[in-house]
Amino acid sequence: MSSISGISNGSPAATDMQRLRRAAVHEPFGRIVGKYLFGLSLALVPFGLLFNDYYSINILTFVYLMAGLACAWNIIGGFGGQFSLAHGVFFAAGAYIPAQFYLKYGVSPWLTAPAAAAVVATAAVLISWPTFRLRGPFFAIATMALNEVAAVLANYSDSLTGGARGLLIPFKASFSHMIFVERWKYCALMFAFMALTLAVVVVIRQSRLGYYLLAVREDEDSARASGVNVLAVKLWGMGISAALTSVGGTLFAMFIRFLDPPTLLSLPDIGVKFALLSLIGGIGTVWGPVLGAFFIIPAENFIRASLGGLPGAHLVVLGLLLMLAALFLKKGIVGAAAALWRRVRATP
């Protein structure tokens, strides 16, 4: 017996097994919280440094928001492996509903944001119920069509969305309106959103739902054969993901204060962006989408600022980056860093 284990310990298969077993065991609670707080405090460093820089703090605000949104997409897209392009719809609904309640009835976005999130999550579950019958590219195409339907409807229904003219939210600064004079307050708000989303992601990753989502991503049929209720798992993942995306939409609406369909339902800037940030950072990892946002959003702004004369230059670079990442960086920055770390540890 001992000789067998001695042999297998030396083979690569055994080390893989050990790594898997280690990953499957729950981390101690304190360490999870510690990692979470450490990551968040690192993410706060630029906030402290850029506090008074009007231009940079706007970018940072957007970084936090997109990081939170990418994390939300990652729940169903990364953990669950369902390439959803419908998240732009949840985002737009999360922006429009509170904005209209604020404009027409003066209801504070603080109250409507959770209500809208609940409505959007319910709608997402109802829409996904039939759509989850589709797999891989077919699911992606169906959700892409959904985004386009939403774009056509948003342009059409003047009374609900302001149509193509868009909705302008007047600047009336007050805490209850979620409109601020000081830019850093928006930044802090987005940071809080990112922290909330990350907390949800960390909890899901440690929970039964998280493991089920991973199982569904790896092999849907095997997961079903092992007794996982695949549809329920996907629907839970989608519902939570959509609710968080909707909250992000509300914050975006109150930050930008101008809403129109091309902004909210653009595939390259919204729907695909969430997936892109996750991929670059590390799809299906907890911190990957945050890293992706911290890397891509400032880079994008830099390119836009330095090549401002050329329309679309930043998207040319982003498209190139996306192709390169799909080819050579499939596990994103997090995966590359982990591989590097393993290599460093392996060489004495």
Binding site for another protein (CB under 8 A): 81, 83, 130-131, 133-138, 140-142, 144-146, 148-149, 152-153, 155-156, 268, 272, 275-276, 279, 310-313, 315-316, 318-327, 330
Adjacent-strand bridge partners of 258? 168
**Distance (Å, whole) CA 14 – CA 320:** 38
> C-alpha distances in angstroms, 23 versus 167, 205, 217, 331?
48, 11, 17, 17
Taking CA 88 as the corner, what is the angle to CA 145 and CA 158, rounded to the nearest 5 degrees?
Answer: 85
| N- to C-terminal Cα separation, the chain | 30
Give CA–CA dist 39/201, Å, rounded.
13
Exposed, middle or buried: residue 115 (CB in 10 Å: 0-12, 13-18, 19+)?
middle
Q: Is 257 exposed, middle or buried (0-12, 13-18, 19+ CB in 10 A)?
A: middle
Which residue in this structure is represented by tokens 């695949």? 230
Residue type, 109: P
DSSP β-bridge partners for residue 179: 174
- What tokens does 1 get? 């017996």
Question: How would DSSP label each residue in 242-304?
Answer: HHHHHHHHHHHHHHH-EE-HHHHS-IIIIIHHHHHHHHHH-TTSSSHHHHHHHHHHHHHHHHH
Write down the H helix ranges in the chain.
Answer: 2-10, 12-24, 29-49, 54-74, 87-105, 109-131, 136-156, 158-161, 183-206, 208-218, 220-225, 230-256, 261-264, 272-281, 288-306, 313-328, 332-346
